[in-house]
Structure formats: C-alpha cells, structure tokens
Amino acid sequence: MRTVYSEDHRLQDGKFELLEGQFMKAHEMPRRAEIVIDRVRSTKLGEVLGPQDFGLDPILKVHDRGLVEFLRVAWDEWAATGRTFDALPHVWPVPGLGRRLSDSIDGKLGYYAIDAGTPITPGTWRAVLSSANVALTAQKLVATGEKSAFALCRPPGHHAGSDFYGGYCFLNNAGIAAQAFRDQGAKRVAILDVDYHHGNGTQQMFFARDDVLTISLHADPKQEFPYFLGYADEIGAGAGEGYHMNLPLPWGTDWQRYTEALDHALKRIAQYGAEALVISLGLDTFEHDPISRFKLAEADYHRLGERIAWADLPTLFVMEGGYAVEALGVNTVNVLMGFEQR
C-alpha cells in the first residue's frame, strides 16, 4: 500500500488547548504524524509519495466558501490585533440567540469554531491545505486503480463540517476525498469512521445525501466529546434518510464488543453497494490513549484492518485522531498491514 505524506503538517503546531477545564499542551502535535511515517518506512509498507496540488475546487464542493476563506486569513487577522500567541475562540453563538458574523476576529473564531481546543497558528492554513491535498492525492491513486492507499493527513478532519471547524480538525479530508470519488464517477461511496470520537463533521456534511453513506463507530456522546451529536437515532434527513448510521459504544468497549458494531457497519456497506470506501482512521480507541476510554489493544488493530479488507472495496485510509503518540505508529500500520493480510 502506498502512503501519501507531506512534511507541511509540521506547520500546525498549536501550543495549548482548553480541555475539560484546563488549559493544557495540545494533544494534536507534529510528533503524531512523524511517528506514523517512521513506522510506515521501517515496516516497508510501501512507497511514500508527496501530495499534488488540487487547488480549492474539490474543497469547495463540500465546504462553505466563508469557512475556507476564514481559515485562509484567520491568522493574519488575529496577528493584526498584535497577538503573537495562537488563536482560540472564547465566546460562541447560542442556538436561538442569533449568529451574526462580526467584523472582529474573535467573533469570527466563535462563529466558525465548535470548541476551544483547535488553535490557529501562523502555519495552520498551509498545513490544512496540504492535509487536504494528501487526501486527494491518495484518493486519486485508488480512483485510478490501486486497491488501497493511505493518506497520512495531519491535521485530521472528521470533526470539521461544511461550515465549522474544531476537534483539532479544520477541513474534512475524508469528506473531500469521498466527494472526489463521486465526481470521478463512483455512484455510491461509503465513509466508515473508526475514530474514538463521533465524526460529527462528516455526519453534518452528508446528512441529507444518499450518494455518500456515512457510518461512525464511537464513544457514546452521552459520555464523550462531541456530546451534542452522534446518537443512534440520527439516521439522515430528506434524501439522506437511512444513509447515516451512528453506532455509539460505552466507555470500556473492548475488541469483542467493538467488532459486533464493526460487523454491523460492514454489512450495511455491503448492502449499500458502495463502489469506494473511505476509512476515517482514528487510533484513539487504543487502551492507553490519554483522552479516551476504549480498550482496543495493539493486535486488535491488525484484526480491524483484516475486517475492513473483507468488504473487498477500493479503500482509502485517511488519518484522523490517536493521542497515545508513542504507540501510534505501530497501531496505525497494524491496521494497514492487517488490510493487506501481512
């Protein structure tokens, strides 16, 4: 399996996030991607390619132009106020209380963000754009005949929706890639999100559509971020009704319990008749993840890859979360090697 990777991800290097009442060192850090690419290389998983530049067009097919333009200029507007530290929002629009777009950068941050954990830095836009190009480059490999490819995206994407960002995500790499499959002729595309957290951005982006089936396995939002969305009764709307599936699982979920939900998801994908499969590959289901509470072990990731291979579809793996950094390389590549049955 070939991997697409760019060192531009290092340009996203936020210092702090507000998480559960504390202002702490950002969990989403450059070392995450470095340890994964090191493992890709040391295991000789396959060739490593740099990304091509696809421009903004494929991004704007799924993202609001206002969000994209905001992300492009946010750091400059922030820095113009004299601030040299990372940009975080501190106030947000309450449902029912109005949501006007202020001229102020602080107002814009709160307008577009869903959390105070996703810092915008001087290099954020270049890293974000590169991450989307990594996904699109890997998508192209699969669309042009490769059985599978690995988009080593950073920053991740599945919490970013059509017009909001957050959860360490700015643009939805998996969603952008799924749309590219559609635009290149695939009639039906499935996105399977195996990150520990609910893929709220992906859900929102495709909720009213039946041409992209979205399924998320995740920690129950009753207990976990992102809290407000990700419940089992959210099944799509309008033409998309029946084309979204949430499989929330409780804290403490181990491989046995996880695999029941996974098999259910894979059956639905088979029944749907997807022509391409995008995996939002988060590894924060790991038993030692510092911000998560599932109990998957190192060897389980090999099994996860095997199961995904049973779907027998052209498959694009897109990197999402995973914060047990030192284990992230092994766990990620275990999925990919499991997929290749080696």
- What residues line the site for a second copy (CB under 8 A)? 16-23, 78, 83, 85-88, 90-100, 102-104, 106-107, 110-111, 114-117, 161, 163-164, 166-167, 200, 204, 221-229, 231, 234
Smallest distance, Å, CB 293 to a second copy?
Answer: 12
Nearest to 108 by CA among 62, 76, 150: 76
When the beta carbons of 23 and 310 are compared against a second copy, the nearer one is 23
Minimum gap (Å) between residue 52 Cβ and Zn ion: 27
284 binds, among a second copy, Zn ion, none (CB under 5 to 8 A by kind): Zn ion
Catalytic site positions = 159
Closer to Zn ion by CB, 34 or 320: give it: 320
DSSP 167-205: TTBSS-HHHHHHHHHHHTT-S-EEEEE-SSS--HHHHHH
Kindly report the backbone phi and psi dihedral angles of residue 120, in degrees, each rounded to the nearest multiple of 5, phi listed first. Answer: -100, 125
CA-closest candidate to residue 293, choices 246, 265, 257, 336: 257
Q: How many residues bind Zn ion (CB under 5 A)?
A: 6
Which residues have C-beta within 8 Å of that of residue 153, sequence separation ≥ 6? 9, 131, 132, 134, 135, 173, 318, 319, 320
Q: Quick one: 106 or 340, whose CB is closer to a second copy?
A: 106
- C-alpha 315/C-alpha 159 separation (Å) is 21
Judged by beta carbon, residue 51 or residue 155, the one nearer a second copy is 155
Q: In the bound complex, what is the minimum distance in angstroms from residue 168's beta carbon to a second copy?
A: 11
Tell me how far, at minimum, the Cβ of 139 lies from Zn ion, in Å.
21
- With CB cut-offs between 5 and 8 Å by kind, which of Zn ion, a second copy, none does residue 22 bind? a second copy
Q: How far is the CB of 184 from Zn ion (least distance, A)?
A: 28
- Asked if residue 282 binds Zn ion (CB under 5 A), the reply is yes
If the CB atoms of residues 89 and 167 are measured against Zn ion, the closer one turns out to be 167
Q: According to the binding rule CB under 5 A, does residue 193 interact with Zn ion?
A: no
**Site track for Zn ion across 196-215, x = CB under 5 A:** xx------------------
Alpha carbon distance 266, 192 (integer Å): 9
Question: Could you say which of a second copy, Zn ion, none residue 196 binds, taking C-beta under 5 to 8 angstroms by partner kind?
Answer: Zn ion
**In this complex, which beta carbon is closest to a second copy, that of residue 10 or of residue 293?**
293
With CB cut-offs between 5 and 8 Å by kind, which of a second copy, Zn ion, none does residue 8 bind?
A: none
Task: Calculate the dihedral angle through the C-alpha atoms of 98, 103, 109, 110, rounding to the nearest 10 degrees.
Answer: -20
Contact of residue 195 among Zn ion, a second copy, none (CB under 5-8 Å per partner type): Zn ion
Q: Which 305-324 residues touch Zn ion, going by CB under 5 A?
A: 321
Nearest approach, Cβ of 5 to Zn ion (angstroms)? 20
Choose among a second copy, Zn ion, none what residue 111 binds, the Cβ cut-off being 5 to 8 Å by kind.
a second copy
Q: Which residues pair with 169 in a beta bridge?
A: 166
Decide: is 13 part of the binding site for Zn ion (CB under 5 A): no
**Rounded Cα distance, 273 and 56, in Å:** 30
User: What is the C-alpha radius of gyration for the chain, rounded to an integer number of angstroms?
Assistant: 18
Tell me whether the omega of the peptide bond preceding residue 226 falls within 30 degrees of 0, making it cis: yes
Between CA 114 and CA 118 the distance in angstroms is 9
CA separation (Å) from 61 to 25, 64, 66, 178, 206?
34, 8, 13, 11, 12
- Which residues lie near Zn ion (CB under 5 A)? 195-197, 282, 284, 321
